[in-house]
Chains A and B, each alone.
Chain A
Amino acid sequence: MTQEPLLKARGLYKRYGKVTALNNCDFDLMPGEILAVIGDNGAGKSSLIKALSGAVQPDEGEITLEGKQVHFASPLEARGHGIECVYQTLAMSPALSIADNMFMGRELRKPGIMGSLFRQLDRPAMEKFAREKLTELGLMTIQNINQAVETLSGGQRQGVAVARAAAFGSKVVILDEPTAALGVKESRRVLELIRDVRSRGIPIILISHNMPHVFEVADRIHIHRLGSRLCVIKPGDYSMSDAVAFMTGAKVPDEVAEAA
């Protein structure tokens, strides 16, 4: 291994009562790669992602970002370190506009006294930025960037959430099931967007059940099983059915079998 991982986790534990969601879990994200995380339902993928994005705090273990140990007490802190996450629930306020949602928690203020003293929002700048980002995603033939998010379709909402993460993520972008609610065409756009983000040098963690999508875009695949990392494979080395067999426990990958 010549490169140091950008985001690394070692020995993570997270217990909810008697349920152990993360059981001595390791994780490595290399700079500039697309890392897919797959695993059966209940394998602890979501817990892992939440630990990395600050939404939950692991009971034990350490997370390092660019070689420095970090503790995220909230998603806001993770964001402060340049980690953006698109949650499965999308985390959008339905009654607020697209622009409001994109800038939630990091609003722009007007320059000069209107911004510093009266704390007025710079709506034109926020709307322009939101419009640009959605256009990049090809999601835009929109008349009204001030449209409430709840008036959008499921796919459009997902598009806005992905655009928000892609626009602000400076170190890592995490996408939890980004194509689950999307049609074929919209999914394609999201996959293109994922590649766009990588070409800007930002690594991506992609959680998905969609094997064709995973095998198409991922550089490496982290297979999660029973609360920890089973193995990491390259999509070229194994078939989709192998990957499914590993994650369901029907088959054991060679290197794990050798180690055992």
Chain B
Amino acid sequence: MSSDAKAATSYEEGLKGASESVAEFKEKKSALARLQHWLHMTPSAVPMIVLIAAVIIFGLLSPNFFKAMTISTILQQIAIVGILGCAQSLVVLTAGIDLSVGAIAVFSSVLMGQFTFRYGIPAPISILLGLALGTAMGFANGWLVAKVKLPPFIVTLGTWQIILAANYIYSANETIRSSEIAEVAPALQFWGNSIQPGGVKVLYAVFLLIAMVAVLSYVLRQTAWGRHVYAVGDDPDAAELAGVQTKRVLIQVYALAGLFCAIAGWVMIGRFGSVSPSASTGQLGNIQSITAVVIGGISLFGGRGSIVGMFFGALIVGVFEMGLKMVGTDPQWTFFLIGLLIILAVAVDQWIRKASA
């Protein structure tokens, strides 16, 4: 049946004289398309541009804005949200969401405080226990998401309530006073210490946030595990077939997020001085961290964005709050503008995605 084989290839004779090149990668032409492509490759560029613009505008409106003191205050104020944002970023990159970040942070801080004061455990050990328990809470989230296959929104909506309630029940809504902590267990307030180069106070917590962003940025970009986090968020089925252990990655991500939340809880003690189970972070931490993540250009659909973007996002919120306060407007304008920014950020994300088409 050799005639068959001949017939099989004969239709390709039409190719004779056609260009020999195979599908090529063509350079994009228009400037807008190039911008779109560049943003596609550099997801933290948008929040960076917004941040620089905001700083310039507030600098022009208010002459005091460019003082070192202002900048250190802004950094201080975003320290906790920024660390929670690190946790949130990891989870959102896997196309999940973690509503329990603030609750884990508050409960961890309460555990650290109560272990020290109720049971007399040395503060450093209490801190380690608090970090371990925070990680365990995150692990529980991850296990429910990866193994029981429940939607992350539902899982963390539940654990948010459970952890916050457990926090009130366990602590009997009792606050540990700042002066007491300073006397008995200064280690708990470690991140509230500061250095003062040239009279400008910079909290240790700020250095911690910057170090965490730098390390996470390295891990996500430069290690196989980081690539796997992106792959799981991008297309979990494809990642699985390509040889990524998706369930393990998911559990690790949620557990690590739990650890970061517990670190944020420790930082809260340093920042506020006292240990309070009714700290507003428990209710607002999730929304604040999601805001930073979204304004920072991390896609809620997973697999896109960078931790540095989240850092810029948190800074933008801090700059808006501080700048509008200094200009002397109604503070509600802050939330008005941040609301606009959130919608704008998601719209830009959708536009950038079209670079793939």
The reply to whether chain A is a binding partner of chain B is yes
* Stretch in contact with the other chain, from A12-20, A31-39, A88-96, A201-209: A88-96
Q: Nearest-CB distance from A184 to chain B (Å)?
A: 6
Closest residue of chain A to B239 (Cβ to Cβ) is A93
Given A91-B238, A95-B303, A237-B1: A142 in contact with B25 (beta carbons within 8 A): yes
Query: Across the interface, do B5 and A235 meet the contact criterion of CB distance under 8 Å?
Result: yes
- A70 lies within 8 A of chain B by Cβ: no
Q: Which of A101, A144, A215 contacts B242 (CB 8 A)?
A: A101
Q: Which of B8, B27, B238 contacts A92 (CB 8 A)?
A: B238
- Chain A contacts of B223 at CB under 8 A? 118-121
* Stretch in contact with the other chain, from B60-68, B99-107, B128-136, B227-235: B227-235
Given A75-B243, A105-B244: A185 in contact with B7 (beta carbons within 8 A): no
Given A96-B227, A104-B227, A216-B9: A141 in contact with B303 (beta carbons within 8 A): no
Q: Nearest-CB distance from B12 to chain A (Å)?
A: 6
* Stretch in contact with the other chain, from B15-23, B191-199, B264-272: B15-23
- B332 lies within 8 A of chain A by Cβ: no
Closest residue of chain B to A105 (Cβ to Cβ) is B243
- A6 lies within 8 A of chain B by Cβ: no
Query: Across the interface, do B5 and A156 meet the contact criterion of CB distance under 8 Å?
Result: no
- A195 lies within 8 A of chain B by Cβ: no
- A55 lies within 8 A of chain B by Cβ: yes
- B237 lies within 8 A of chain A by Cβ: yes
Query: Across the interface, do B243 and A143 meet the contact criterion of CB distance under 8 Å?
Result: no
Q: Nearest-CB distance from A190 to chain B (Å)?
A: 10
Q: Nearest-CB distance from B306 to chain A (Å)?
A: 12
Q: Write the A61-86 contact mask toward B (1 if CB under 8 angstroms, else 0).
A: 00000000000001110010000010
Q: Write the B218-251 contact mask toward A (1 if CB under 8 angstroms, else 0).
A: 1000111101101100110111111111000000
The answer for the CA separation of A87 and B238 in the assembled complex, in Å, is 9
Closest residue of chain A to B24 (Cβ to Cβ) is A141
Query: Across the interface, do B242 and A105 meet the contact criterion of CB distance under 8 Å?
Result: yes
- Chain B contacts of A94 at CB under 8 A? 234-235, 303, 356
- B330 lies within 8 A of chain A by Cβ: no
- State the majority secondary structure of interface residues on A: loop
Given A76-B243, A96-B227, A215-B5: A139 in contact with B23 (beta carbons within 8 A): yes
Q: Considering only CB atoms and an 8 Å cut-off, how many residues of chain B contact the other chain? A: 45
- A127 lies within 8 A of chain B by Cβ: no
Closest residue of chain A to B241 (Cβ to Cβ) is A91
Query: Across the interface, do B222 and A121 meet the contact criterion of CB distance under 8 Å?
Result: yes
Closest residue of chain A to B28 (Cβ to Cβ) is A151
Given A143-B25, A185-B22, A212-B7: A100 in contact with B227 (beta carbons within 8 A): yes
- Chain A contacts of B239 at CB under 8 A? 91, 93, 104
Q: Which residues of B300-357 have CB atoms within 8 Å of chain A's CB atoms?
A: 303-304, 355-356
Query: Across the interface, do B12 and A188 meet the contact criterion of CB distance under 8 Å?
Result: yes
Q: Nearest-CB distance from B241 to chain A (Å)?
A: 4
Q: Nearest-CB distance from A53 to chain B (Å)?
A: 9
The answer for the CA separation of A118 and B222 in the assembled complex, in Å, is 9
- Chain A contacts of B40 at CB under 8 A? 148, 151
The answer for the CA separation of A151 and B37 in the assembled complex, in Å, is 9
Query: Across the interface, do B225 and A119 meet the contact criterion of CB distance under 8 Å?
Result: yes
Q: Max chain A CB contacts within 10 Å: which of B218, B222, B223, B238? A: B238
Query: Across the interface, do B8 and A215 meet the contact criterion of CB distance under 8 Å?
Result: yes
- Chain A contacts of B41 at CB under 8 A? 146, 148
Q: Nearest-CB distance from A177 to chain B (Å)?
A: 15
- B183 lies within 8 A of chain A by Cβ: no
Q: Which residues of A91-146 have CB atoms within 8 Å of chain B's CB atoms?
A: 91-96, 100-101, 104-107, 109, 118-121, 138-139, 141-144, 146
- Chain A contacts of B15 at CB under 8 A? 184-185
The answer for the CA separation of A248 and B27 in the assembled complex, in Å, is 46
Q: Nearest-CB distance from B168 to chain A (Å)?
A: 41
- Chain B contacts of A89 at CB under 8 A? 237-238, 241
Q: Which residues of B128-183 have CB atoms within 8 Å of chain A's CB atoms?
A: none
- Would you list 9 pairs from A and B whose C-beta atoms are within 8 A, ordered by A residue? A92-B238, A94-B234, A95-B303, A104-B227, A105-B244, A151-B37, A151-B40, A211-B8, A213-B8
Hey, which bits of chain B sit against chain A, CB under 8 A?
1-2, 4-5, 7-9, 11-12, 14-15, 18, 21-25, 27, 37, 40-41, 218, 222-225, 227-228, 230-231, 234-235, 237-245, 303-304, 355-356
Q: Across chains A and B, which 3 residue pairs bring their CB atoms closest together, nearest first? A: A105-B243, A150-B356, A212-B8
Given contacts A93-B239, A151-B355, A185-B15, 7 further A-B contacts (CB under 8 A): A75-B240, A94-B234, A104-B243, A139-B22, A139-B23, A185-B23, A235-B5
